[in-house]
Structures are given as structure tokens and as C-alpha cells.
Amino acid sequence: MAVTAPAVFKFTAASNPERHLAAAEVFGVDISNARAENAGQLLSDALKEFLRELGDQPKGIKELGYTSSDIEGLVEGTIPQRRVLMLAPKLDEDLERQKGELIKLFEDSLEY
């Protein structure tokens, strides 16, 4: 879902900063002096700008009707999707223990 992409790629950048920098470059970001630890933010910012330029796009899940009170339910609905979540950095088999990471991801997805 494009409205969560800026937050998701900021979250996943630690898994492969080089790939995230390459993706940012595709969006026109000059990565010649970029540092690996900034890859997620660079790609996130590039995606935000791209989505803004598309026009009339929701700027986060808040514009789709979600609020911070929905986040717990979104996290609970996400946890059963273990196969997808195991591809994400910062997460392991103990997803119940890592709900905080998913909560932050959805909080960051509310708006950009």
C-alpha cells in the first residue's frame, strides 16, 4: 500500500541500506555522499515527494479514516502475517514481544 510505503521503507532500511539507497536514486536522490544509516530516511522522503507529485493521494492512513485508536487493531491484524513479517529487519519469531516496533510503524504511517 503506497500510503504506508514511506514508513515501511524507513523501517526496513537497516536490512539492506544499499538497496534502499539505490531505490532512492531511482527517485532522483543524489546518493553520492549518502550514508547507509540515512538510507531509510532518504527513500522515505523521496517516496513522500513522489506521492505528493502524483496529486490527490492520501498522505497516510489517517486520510483513509484510521486514527491512533485503530493502531492496536492494525497490529493485531498484522501479527498473523508472519511469513511477510519475517522478511522485515528488527523482527523475529517473537512478534508478541515486538509489538512496539509494529506500533511505531503504524504511528509513522498515520500521516506524512
Domain boundaries, the chain: 2-109
Name which residue leads in pLDDT, 12 or 45. 45
pLDDT band per the 50, 70, 90 thresholds, residue 15: confident
pLDDT at residue 93, as a whole number: 77
CA distances from 74 to 17, 65, 83, 96 (A): 27, 13, 17, 13
Summarize pLDDT for 64-101 with one digit per residue, the tens.
999 999 999 999 998 888 777 777 777 777 877 888 98
Grid coordinates in use for 20?
Answer: 534502499
Share of the chain above pLDDT 70, in %: 99
What letter would DSSP give residue 112? -
pTM of the model: 0.84
Q: Which of 10, 2, 3 is nearest to 60 (CA)?
A: 3
